[in-house]
Structure 1
Amino acid sequence: MDSHNRPLEGLPSAPRIRRGLLTAAAVTLALLAPAAPAHANPTPAEIEKQIDAQWNKLEPVIEEHNATKIKLTKQKKKADELNAQLAPLEQQVLVTRTRIGVLADQLYRGGALAQANAFLSSGDAGAMAERLLVLDQLAHDKKSRIADVLAAKSALDEVKRPLDELVAQLTKTEAEQAARAKAIEAEIKKLNKLRLDAYGSQSGIGELAPVPCPTSYPGGAGAQAVKYACKQIGKIYVWGAAGPDNFDCSGLTMAAWRAAGVSLPHNAKAQRAEVKSVSRSELRPGDLVFYYSDLHHVGMYAGNGWIVHASRSGLPIRMRKMDDGNIHSYGRPA
């Protein structure tokens, strides 16, 4: 074989060279290709905006649900009143029918044969005829009485029928609204978990805010109020002050709720008199927690058993456990 046609030993063949070039080109393209944009996790503020949006959906549903429950209670009361009127009429029909049962069988089922037998069994035709007339009149009177009762019952039934239909519709609507509210509340709960995850283990402002403030975000006016109060952490208590640089206890809660569009007096006891009472189990961030029998202190609930408050002169606004004080009651501005 001619030596010029033999491949040189130790050198790669042409197919290997082509494969190597293709591989190098692919690596080069991969290196030059722009990196896929990284998706940053949402910040607490961004999640709070989502919660606000969900709350704006939830609050109208809650109000509609409350209005439906009020209507349903009223209509059920009307239906109960009509049922109370129908009950004696139904009983009257039953009693009257029972009393004339035997008589109806004799006079109207037995017919002429029963009358003839009765006539033949009597020795006095005039007396028998009189008896038959009396029985016939009694039957007629009782039939008329039943007819009157049935007419009255029918009239009440006609009034009650649309009422029953309305009660049924309101009951269905109430259930649908409750289901919608529950679904939105579940979404808010999930968003609140994301919010806490976004905060991670941050402690806010050290010992003044050992946990995120608020610890959960309810949405709505309460959320706006508690966010305002939380932003004041670190500012110094000054008696009689209501912001923007210093606050006393009721000045802080007044200013916070003013930021949410609700007016409150600058006095803890007066605030207690103006706000709606809520139970401990109903508390949500933004609610007010009142302390001591003379109501001389108020803080704002921040969730999970924490409040944010202005405690006393010279100290900064801070968070603390709600139960570190003699609680008087709880209230919700509106």
Structure 2
Amino acid sequence: MVIENAGLLDSIQDLGRIGYRGQGMTVSGAMDSHAYQIGNLLLGNHRNTPSLEITLTPPVIRFSKSTIISLAGADFQPMINDKKIPMWSTIPVQRDDVLTFGKQGGIGIGCRSYLSVLGGFQVPKVMGSAATYIRAHIGGIEGRRLRAGDQIPYLDYTGDIQCRRTLNHQYLPNVLENVYPNDPVTLRVIEGPQSESFSEHGLSSFYQEVYQVTKDFDRMGIRLQGRNLEHMNDQSKEIISDAVTYGSIQVTPDGQPVILGADCQTTGGYPKIACVATIDLPRVAQLTFHQKIKFMSITVYEAHRLWKTQEKIYRILGLSRKNISHRQ
């Protein structure tokens, strides 16, 4: 597969590097793991198969050999040879077919989409993962964002070219409503380990305020703008650095919250007022500039229940599974 024109930030991702945060290595991986996993499941791939994460401005891609692809996540209106193709469905492609997109990301569309191929992209693993972590220059293609001329190897498809799978229609509306909702987006959160660092007024403001995503957002974090959150005192504006994770919500000394992303550091020195529940991390991944968001408190029990329900959905999506042969 050849990148003819690179997008804003195209990178190879999987579910990330698990078990290395103690050594200071971030997890990385797909920001919207929900769309990423569904895209792979549609193809009959393992849920942790390397895919291409496309951010805001999509690339132009030429396929070097036949395969089957899927696109899941934000609908950038994909086209093969200028003919529109559906999202959340498997699509056969032939050698020299060209994938383009008719839209860029934005409010109401989303920020990230995932291109998966049958068998996955064949890239080396670092610490058990193919995920690109640009700041450390590891994973994916030379540990960097993709650029024009890059060639990404994948397996050659030799099965029935008419073979197709589509996300069961009874689940699709639920997926789109829950992950790609209209403004403002509600993020369900669990109270953070340093919530006592904030005054009663500061805590109530956090849940009442409608925040807006600033231009400072990437895979490392999303800076928000809204009413300043009141700390208990000046000493509580910073803490001795402790663990953070994707979804941790730190509050900087100026009182503005920052939602940490998949490429966040492993520790941080700002108090964490809350943490986004895993079920809503895909919503975080799809936030774009100027998007409005609100926070809603839930219990750890409820967060676990929602996560377990999501895991069940992966197993009961009603995808037809067929044996598909492929070769290199």
Structure 1-normalised TM-score?
0.20
Greater fraction of residues in strand: 2
Which structure would you say has the larger RCO, counting Cα contacts within 8 Å and 6 or more residues apart?
A: 2
Q: TM-score, normalised by structure 2?
A: 0.20
Which structure's residues are more often helix, by fraction? 1
Rg comparison, structure with higher value: 1
